[in-house]
Structures are given as structure tokens and as C-alpha cells.
Amino acid sequence: MNKNFTIKIDEAVLMLMHKKRKKVLTLSVNTTGGGCCPTFEIAEVDMYKPDQTENFESFEQNDITLYIGKNARIAAPTLHFKIKKNFIGATIQVEGLSLKTRDS
């Protein structure tokens, strides 16, 4: 994992975490697909401490502990956590990763 990056957490993410009384963000990059379908990667952000912390690098920012998967390929100078609203609520998403897509 590239360690030459900064982390930005939007105020909306911090407010959501405060509302839910959470102090942890975990970024996991998982591979999905396979078999008859091509594989691709997805980034998942959760508000819990991972079970296997040895697979993650940890960082502290804004009184938040961030766990970032060691397999995350950070392609931008800033890893940016932000809220994306959808029809059932909102999710935390991250920008700045290089993910294998279906076309890769």
C-alpha cells in the first residue's frame, strides 16, 4: 500500500458517525465475481473495527480510528471519505482508490 497520501473525512461523515456514536472507519477492498463472470474489486466502508486488524494499516484523524486494508491501491494524493445519498438513506464512500473493474 502506498503510504504517501493524506486522508480527508467530510463533515457529513463525521456528523453521521457522531450521531451513531461510532469512532471507527474500516475500508476494505474485496474481489467479487469469478466463475463465468470476470472478477472485479469493490471498496466497502464500515463503522466497525475489523476482526483481523493485521490485514489493515491504522490511522488516527478527527478523533476517528481508520483501518485501511493493506491490499488497497491508493492512486490519488488524498483518500477522501464522503457521504453518498441513495433512495434508502446514505452510505460512506471513498475516492482515491485504484480498483480492478470488470473491463480491466
Distances (CA, A) of 17 to 23, 52, 76: 7, 22, 24
Q: What is the CATH number of the domain that holds 65?
A: 2.60.300.12
- Does the pLDDT of residue 1 top 50, yes or no? yes
User: 88 lies in a domain?
Assistant: yes
By the 8 A CB rule, do 49 and 67 touch? yes
- Does the pLDDT of residue 104 top 60, yes or no? no
pLDDT of residue 3: 67
pLDDT of residue 103: 54
| 58: Cα within 13 Å, side-chain hemisphere | 12
What domain range includes position 43?
6-95
Beta bridge partners of 58: 67
| Residue 92 identity | I
pLDDT of residue 8: 93
Domain count within the chain: 1
- Does the pLDDT of residue 96 top 80, yes or no? yes
pLDDT of residue 41: 76
User: 103 lies in a domain?
Assistant: no
Pairwise CA distance, residues 6 & 70, whole Å: 16
| Residue 10 identity | D
By the 8 A CB rule, do 7 and 14 touch? no
Q: What pLDDT, in 10s, does the model give residues 13-67? A: 999 999 999 999 999 987 776 666 677 778 899 999 999 999 999 999 989 999 9
| 40 or 6: which leads in pLDDT | 6
Pairwise CA distance, residues 102 & 23, whole Å: 33
User: 86 lies in a domain?
Assistant: yes
